[in-house]
Every structure is written in structure tokens, then in C-alpha cells.
Structure 1
Amino acid sequence: MKHLFFLKYIFTLLIFSFLGGCITTHQGAESYFRSGSIKSQEGNYKGAMKDFKRVLKINPKHAKAYLGRSNIKYNLKNYKGAIEDCSTAIRLNPELTDAYFNLGISYYELKRYKKAIAEFDRSIKRRPQDAEAYYLRGKAKMRMGNASGACSDWQKAVGMSYTQAAEMQKKYCTNKPNANKMLEEAPAQVRETRDNE
């Protein structure tokens, strides 16, 4: 009887030790994630990358860490790396709307406008009130020669009070011959705080 009690005691200790380790590990990953997000927002990309790497070492299925890392890679102009991390984030969590947005802007920078439009479509489907996604999809459509599609997207963004879309609409949609003079403006900076909180 004492032997059975001792085994139950040992088993209980093992379970609590395991659960405690899991909780500590989870807390460690989240702590590194928060630290990485803050460092990224401050422009400390090297420090943020180290923190996100630590998160992924603890939890390789942490989709938001891949998303955070994609923001950094985008800002460092490593668009292919950003695409890889966004794709992994989506595979792990298809509900991360910003991953689709990040794919769109990364493909845009690589001049893969058709793919950019497809990703902005997916982003807009999940967040229909995202004026920036309409604005950038409009820019990609303009690059593909679809001026009416671009103007339509910019009109939607203007309806959401997106100033840059109003400027593009005024410049390219009121005077159709100017449509071929598309500016070489880069998309707006990735909003690092989107879905990273």
C-alpha cells in the first residue's frame, strides 16, 4: 500500500513538474515575443530578430513570431525572406490577416503585381475596412495597366478617409492620360503593430 501511494506521489510530482515547465516555456516565448515586437517598433531589428529566433526555438509553431520576423525582413528589403515567413505564418494560422497584407506588399516590391493583387484580395476579404490594402491593391492594379480597377480601389480607400488614395485618385483618375505616369512610391511601411500585440 505504501508503495502504491509513493508511486502516485511520484507520478503527481512528475505531472506538475511537466506542466510547470510547459507554462514557464510558454511564458518565456511570450516574453521574448513582446520584447522582439518592442525592439522592432523601435527600429532595433537585430535585437528583434534575436528575440523572434528565441521564440521560434521555444515554440516553432508561433505564427506571430514569423509574422514579426517578416515585418523586419520587409523593412530590411529582404522581400523573399518576408514572403517565406508570411507563408509559414499563414500555414500555422490562416487567420493572421496581416500576413496576407505583408505578402501583398512584399510581392509588390518584387514587381510581382499579379501575386500582390491576389494577396491584397485575401487580406481585404478578411478585413474589408482596411483602406491601406485597397490603396496598395490599386497601385498594383495600375502597374498591371488596370487604371479603372486602380481608381475603383482608391475610391474605396478615399471613402475610408485614406489621404494617399485621394492624392492618387486626383492625380490618375481625374485625368486618364496621366495614368501611365505612375509614381515610384514605395508602399507604406509595414504596420508592425498589426496583429503583433
Structure 2
Amino acid sequence: MKHITKLIIGLITIALVGYSKSEAEISTVEIVTPSYSTGDDRLTPGNSEAIVSQKKSSGQDAESYFEKAVKHYSEGKYEEALADFNQAIQLNPKYAKAYNGRGLVYTLLEKNEKALADYNQAIRLNPKYAQAYNNRGIVYRRQGENEKALADYNQAIRLNPKYAKAYNGRGIVYRKQGKNEKALADFNQAIQLNAKYARAYYNRGLIHKGNRNIEKARSDFKKAADLFKQQGNQKFYQDSLDQLRKLQ
């Protein structure tokens, strides 16, 4: 029996003009993948390989290429992932998740126009695809198209009011526009929805730092550092510690 699960595959760091690299807001792009009854609802590189081998007896199809693409992406094999997403789309031109997945790879390779084309197609095929709106919003934000980014984050939230990542992304845009109260409200909501959302704590810490609420900023950066360390994200763990040192 199939379930839908979220596999977060990749971090995109967006640095705002006028801020140092260590003050970059943190957001994510994501892909939704089908999962199978393997004793673990989460799709991991280990069990995705098993899924692919199980399907070989019935021949390769679009879904198995999609699974291979996710596995290759998780291993950092982006060209192989692209090839498999291409094959999945060739076999099933109406496979919205494959367009979203390929768009994700293009986003991380900074091929923004190709990424936008794929997210657009994913949304045409599935107008209720919240993840594709979120991912397209990230590309628009990278391009400085803040109003388009806001429209996509708003739509993602309308489709899924519990979508913590979309609140985090929208908060980043609001902060970029100097709308700190709205940004703070979105980061608060992201944290309320996901108490272990390290990126949202980090981004909220930047708001508190800018507002000179030093104790609140310290608390958020410390929480972010603890969570990033638990999650094995050494880079952003160090960034959070750098922020704490600046506040001493």
C-alpha cells in the first residue's frame, strides 16, 4: 500500500544583500515521493534501492526511475538523478512529481529558468501541488522576484495551512522587504508547527538580533545550534555558533 511521505533532500542558503554569509536565511526545497510498506514509512537510500530491485521483475516504469532519481540525488549524483527524472518524464509526461523533482535538481545546480519551467509544469499538471509552489517560490526569491515568491508561498499555505517550510520561506521574503513583524509571525508559526525546525529558529534569531532583543536572539541561535548538531548539519551548526559569539 502506498503512502505519501516527504523526503527533504537538500538545503538552499539564500544570502540577502547587505548581510554576511553567516547571516544568510535558511530554507529548503523538497520533493514528495511515494513510499512503500517496508516497515519504515520514510523513503531512505537503503530501502529505495530495494524498491528498485523489486520492480525490475516487472520492467522499468516511470515510478521506478523516479525512485532511482531520488536515490541518486541523496548520494549527490546530480547528473544521474537528472537522467532518471528525464526517463521518468519520458515514460509518463503527466508525472507531476518527476517535474518537481527535476526542478529541484535544477534549483540546486542554479539553473533557475529550467527549474521554473519544471515547477510550472508540475503545477499545471497538479494545481494543488503545495510543494511545487514552495519550491518555485524559492527560485523566485533567489531571483529577487519577491512578489511572485510571496504569491507562491501564500498559495502553498492555502493548500496546506500546516506547511511549516512555506511559512519559513515567506518569513524570509518579509524580512528581505523589511516587514519584520510579519516575518516574525511566520517564523513563530513555523516553529509552532514544527518545534524541531532549526532553520526557523535561526531565521527568527536574525529578526530578534536586528530588533536588539539580544536574549531572545541568543535563545534562538542556541536552539538552532543544538538542533543542527543533532541533525548532523555541521555547517549551519557552526553558523549558529558564530551568531552566538557575535552577541557576547
Q: Same fold (TM over 0.5)?
A: yes
Cα shift at 1:125: 1.3
Mapped partners of 1:30, 1:150: distance in 2: 38
Q: Secondary structure at the match of 2:61?
A: helix
CA RMSD for the aligned pairs?
Answer: 2.4
Q: Which amino acid aligns with 1:78?
A: K
Normalising by structure 2, what TM-score? Answer: 0.57
Partner of residue 67, structure 2 = 34
Q: Superposition pairs for residues 16-165 of structure 1, below 5 Å?
A: 28-160=61-193, 161-165=196-200
Structure 1 residues 37 and 126: alpha-carbon distance in aligned structure 2, compared to 1, 3 A threshold: same
Which whole-Å deviations, capped at 9, do the CAs of 1:154-184 have from their partners, x for residues lacking one? Answer: 1112223423323332332475379xxxxxx
Higher share of residues assigned helix: 1
Number of residue pairs aligned between Structure 1 and Structure 2? 156
Partner of residue 192, structure 1 = none
Structure 1 residues 60 and 25: alpha-carbon distance in aligned structure 2, compared to 1, 3 A threshold: farther
8 Å CA contact 1:25, 1:58 repeated in 2: no
Mapped partners of 2:202, 2:82: distance in 1: 36
Mapped partners of 2:83, 2:119: distance in 1: 18
Cα shift at 1:124: 1.2
Normalising by structure 1, what TM-score? Answer: 0.71
Q: Which has the higher contact order (CA 8 A, sep 6+)?
A: 1
Report percent identity of matched pairs: 34
Larger Rg: 1
Q: Secondary structure at the match of 1:94?
A: coil
Which whole-Å deviations, capped at 9, do the CAs of 1:115-141 have from their partners, x for residues lacking one? Answer: 111111111112222222111111101
Q: Secondary structure at the match of 1:145?
A: coil
Cα shift at 1:27: 5.4
Mapped partners of 1:88, 1:39: distance in 2: 22
Mapped partners of 1:55, 1:166: distance in 2: 37
- Runs of 4+ aligned structure 1 residues displaced above 4 Å come to 24-27
